[in-house]
Amino acid sequence: MIKPLSDRVLILPNPAEEVTAGGLIIPDTAKEKPLAGKIMAAGPGTKDVTMEVKVGDQVLYGKYSGTEISHEGVTYIIMKQSEILAVVE
Locate the DSSP E strands across the chain.
Answer: 8-13, 36-42, 58-61, 67-71, 74-80, 84-88
Is residue 68 one of the residues assigned to a domain? yes
pLDDT given for residue 84 in this prediction:
95
Task: Classify the C-alpha dihedral 52-55-60-62 as positive or negative.
Answer: positive
Model-level pTM? 0.81
Residues of the chain with pLDDT under 70: 16-21, 23-34
Is residue 13 one of the residues assigned to a domain? yes
Q: How many CA atoms lie within 13 A of 68 on its CB side?
A: 9
> Are the CB atoms for 2 and 10 separated by under 8 Å?
yes
pLDDT given for residue 7 in this prediction:
96
Number of domains in the chain: 1
- Write out the residue range of the structural domain in which residue 72 sits: 8-18+25-88
pLDDT given for residue 20 in this prediction:
57
> Are the CB atoms for 43 and 80 separated by under 8 Å?
no
